[in-house]
Structure formats: structure tokens, C-alpha cells
């Protein structure tokens, strides 16, 4: 839900209270308030890359290539041309995923491991 306060004096007073230097900005200011989402933990991220690494080794891919494949599988992809070649580009990146979204992405990687018989070491994370 977006709510606009417009150019009211009351709204501008709130902006200035939060950011006094905005008074010198020629075009005014824009403020966005949104829900904070829990981000994945360092441990979850490490575990994800252990799984990606195991899949990459099995398939003969680099870790980055395998990560891209997982992103494409989970989020879908667009075909893009760059310098004469066409490739898949995932519709979403993983860097800003909330905990639940990242868990779903990890689920794709774990499912692929199970389907291919790839084993990974949870202790390596």
C-alpha cells in the first residue's frame, strides 16, 4: 500500500525532522516506509553454497553457473542476447530474498541433489 502525503506542511515537517539537510534539497524529498523482512542467515547462505558447489562439481559447471541455473528454475527466466549469443537470465536475483524465499530457493537445490543422487556435506557449511 502506498500512501502519499503530498506537499503538505505537516508532511514536510516530518521529513525535516528525520532529515534536516532535506531543507537544502532543491527538488524536495521522497520518503519510503516499508516492512522489514528477515534476511537469510550467514549459516543458511553458507549451506546453500555448499549444495550449489556439490551440484556444480557433479554437472561440470562453475558454482556461478549452477547458481544461475537454480535461479532460472525457481524464478523463471528471459532469453537475452549479448554480443551475438543468447542466454538465459533469471527474472530475480537472490541477494535480497527474505528468509522464506531463500528457503524455497534452497529447496530447489536440495531437490536437484536428491534427483541426481548428489551428496553434500552439511558439516562443510
**Domain range list for the chain:** 1-34, 42-124
114/119 Cα distance (integer angstroms) = 8
Banded pLDDT at 98 (limits 50, 70, 90)? confident
Confidence check: pLDDT of 30 > 90? no
pLDDT in tens, 61-82: 999 999 999 999 999 999 999 9
What are the cell numbers at 95? 541477494
Sequence-distant (6+) residues with CB within 8 A of 72 are 88, 89, 90
More confident residue, 20 or 36: 20
Q: What average pLDDT does the segment 25-30 reach?
A: 72
Q: For 98-118, what is the HEC assignment?
A: EHHHHHHHHHHHHHHHHHHCC
CATH topology of domain 42-124: NinB fold (1.10.3790)
Sequence-distant (6+) residues with CB within 8 A of 96 are 39
Q: Answer yes or no: pTM beyond 0.85.
A: no
Confidence check: pLDDT of 21 > 70? yes
- State the chain's mean pLDDT as an integer: 86
Banded pLDDT at 5 (limits 50, 70, 90)? low
54 in Cβ contact with 76 (< 8 Å): no
Banded pLDDT at 52 (limits 50, 70, 90)? very high
Amino acid at each position: 500500500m502506498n500512501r502519499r502525503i503530498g506537499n503538505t506542511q505537516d508532511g514536510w515537517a516530518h521529513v525535516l525532522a528525520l532529515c534536516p539537510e532535506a531543507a537544502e534539497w532543491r527538488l524536495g524529498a521522497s520518503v519510503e516506509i516499508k516492512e522489514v523482512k528477515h534476511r537469510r542467515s550467514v549459516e543458511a547462505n553458507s549451506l546453500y553454497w555448499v549444495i550449489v558447489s556439490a551440484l556444480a562439481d557433479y554437472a561440470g559447471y562453475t558454482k556461478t553457473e549452477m547458481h544461475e541455473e537454480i535461479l532460472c528454475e525457481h524464478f523463471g527466466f528471459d532469453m537475452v542476447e549479448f554480443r551475438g549469443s543468447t542466454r538465459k537470465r533469471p527474472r530475480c536475483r537472490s541477494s535480497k530474498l527474505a528468509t522464506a524465499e531463500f528457503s524455497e530457493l534452497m529447496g530447489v537445490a536440495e531437490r536437484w541433489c536428491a534427483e541426481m543422487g548428489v551428496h553434500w556435506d552439511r558439516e562443510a557449511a
